[in-house]
């Protein structure tokens, strides 16, 4: 049983390395150029936090949410060293970490955001683990904002306009 779990874990990690980690290392600069405008609901969430709040941005990418609210302390993490370098060039507080094993003190954050990250994990179990890791960093009464993409996404009963039908 343990070798089956280890084998599945290895396969999941290999899949994510090839299709997520390696891809973001290659596309970081171009990706960052197209990811500069904050999503309004994320900005509203960050603006709603109390002055002095400690906020973690898990999967911070190029750091576009890290300096939106000067009244909160933000720290970001990502798996992409190329994206973290972009953050460093902006003098943002970041470090390398995987959402599945956050090296953050438990019960230490007033809020966490995790925007468009969890859907990159290859299994439901890994996605649940990621959410557990995020929630473990929150103080009692803390808030988390998590966004994920869904292939089956619908709005007003219609398929998402972001899904190209008839394509493989």
| pLDDT, tens digit only, all 168 positions of the chain | 344 445 577 877 776 666 666 666 676 667 667 777 898 999 999 999 999 999 999 999 999 999 999 999 999 999 999 999 999 999 999 999 999 999 999 999 999 999 988 888 888 899 999 999 999 999 999 999 999 987 666 677 776 655 455 544
Please report the pLDDT score of residue 9 as a whole number: 78
> Is 149 a domain residue?
yes
Cα(159)–Cα(72) distance, integer angstroms? 37
What distance in Å separates the CA atoms of residue 80 and residue 73, rounded to the nearest whole number? Answer: 22
pLDDT, position 160? 61
**Domain around 39:** 2-159
125: in domain: yes
Tell me how far apart the alpha carbons of residues 31 and 80 are, in angstroms, rounded to a whole number.
Answer: 12
pLDDT at 167: 45
Q: Are strands 73-78 and 154-155 parallel, antiparallel or unpaired?
A: unpaired
What is the pLDDT, as a whole number, of residue 5? Answer: 43
Helices (H), the chain: 2-16, 22-34, 40-47, 81-89, 124-136
Domain of residue 133, CATH code = 3.40.50.150
pTM of the model: 0.80
Please check whether residue 58 lies inside any domain of the structure: yes
Tell me the residue length of the chain: 168
How confident is the model at residue 122, as a pLDDT? 81
Confidence (pLDDT) at 29: 66
Q: Is 99 helix (H, G, I), strand (E, B) or coil?
A: coil
Structural domain includes residue 168:
no
Per the CB < 8 A criterion, the answer to whether 48 and 113 are in contact is no
> 79, 101 in Cβ contact below 8 A?
no
Phi, psi of 94 (to 5 degrees): -145, 165
* pLDDT score, position 145: 97
Question: Is there a domain that residue 164 lies in?
Answer: no
Closest CA to 32 of 56, 63, 1, 6: 63
Q: Is the CB of residue 96 less than 8 Å from the CB of residue 84?
A: yes
What pLDDT, on a 0 to 100 scale, did the predictor assign at position 168? 44
**Total number of domains constituting the chain:** 1
| pLDDT number for residue 19 | 62
Q: What are phi and psi of 79, to 5 degrees?
A: -90, -15
């Amino acid at each position: 049983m343990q070798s089956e779990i280890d084998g599945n874990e290895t396969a999941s990690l290999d899949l994510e390395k090839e299709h997520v980690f390696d891809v973001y290392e290659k596309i970081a600069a171009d990706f960052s150029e197209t990811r500069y405008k904050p999503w309004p609901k994320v900005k509203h969430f960050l603006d709603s936090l109390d002055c002095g709040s400690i906020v973690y941005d898990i999967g911070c990418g190029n750091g576009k949410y890290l300096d939106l609210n000067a009244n909160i302390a933000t720290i970001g993490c990502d798996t992409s060293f190329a994206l973290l370098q972009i953050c460093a060039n902006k003098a943002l507080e970041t470090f390398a970490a995987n959402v599945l094993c956050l090296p953050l003190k438990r019960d230490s954050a007033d809020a966490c955001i995790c925007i468009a990250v969890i859907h990159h994990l290859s299994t439901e179990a890994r996605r649940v683990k990621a959410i557990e890791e995020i929630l473990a960093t929150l103080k009692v009464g803390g808030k988390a904002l998590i966004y994920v993409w869904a292939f089956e996404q619908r709005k007003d009963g219609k398929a998402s306009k972001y899904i190209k039908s008839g394509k493989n």
